[in-house]
C-alpha cells in the first residue's frame, strides 16, 4: 500500500462561516489527526477537506476520496461535491462534477 493525499472541494448553497465549518468538521473523522477542513478564502461558499490515506493505487485512492466527499456531504445540508483529487508527489488523479 502506498500513501496518498486526498483533497475534496464541496460547494455550499450559501457562504460558510466559522460555525458552519466547525459543525461539519467536528464529527468528521474525529480520530483522524491528519484531516483538515477549511473554508476557501477566495470562495467562502467552498468547503475544502484534505486527508492522507493508504491505497493500492491512484484509482483506489480516488475512490477513498469519493468516500470522504460523501461523508462530508452527509454532515452539511446543502453541500455539493465539486472536486475530488488523489495525489502523490509525482502524480494526481482528479474528478470534477463539471468538466
The confidence score (pLDDT) of residue 94 equals: 98
Structural domain range at position 6:
2-96
Listed in sequence order, the residues at least 6 apart from 13 whose beta carbon sits closer than 8 Å to its beta carbon are 45, 78, 79, 80
The predicted model scores a pTM of 0.93
At residue 55, the pLDDT reads 97
Q: How far apart are CA 54 and CA 90, in angstroms?
A: 16
Structural domains of the chain, count:
1
**Residue 72 and residue 10 in contact, taking contact as beta carbons nearer than 8 Å:** yes
Three cell numbers, residue 4: 496518498
pLDDT value for 93: 98
Per-residue pLDDT of the chain (99 residues; tens, 9 = 90+): 999 999 999 999 999 999 999 999 899 998 999 999 999 999 999 999 999 999 999 999 999 999 999 999 999 889 999 999 999 999 999 999 987
For position 46, which CATH number holds? 3.30.70.3190
Angstrom distance (rounded) from CA 80 to CA 48: 12
Phi, psi for residue 20 in degrees, rounded to 5: -65, -40
pLDDT computed for residue 65 by the predictor: 98
Amino acid at each position: 500500500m502506498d500513501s496518498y493525499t486526498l483533497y475534496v472541494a464541496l460547494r455550499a448553497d450559501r457562504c460558510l462561516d466559522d460555525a458552519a465549518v466547525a459543525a461539519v468538521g467536528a464529527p468528521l473523522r474525529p480520530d483522524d489527526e491528519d484531516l483538515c477542513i477549511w473554508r476557501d478564502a477566495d470562495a467562502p461558499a467552498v468547503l475544502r477537506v484534505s486527508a492522507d490515506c493508504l491505497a493500492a493505487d491512484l484509482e483506489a485512492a480516488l475512490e477513498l476520496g469519493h468516500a470522504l466527499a460523501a461523508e462530508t456531504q452527509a454532515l452539511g445540508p446543502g453541500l455539493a461535491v465539486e472536486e475530488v483529487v488523489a495525489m502523490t508527489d509525482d502524480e494526481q488523479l482528479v474528478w470534477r462534477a463539471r468538466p
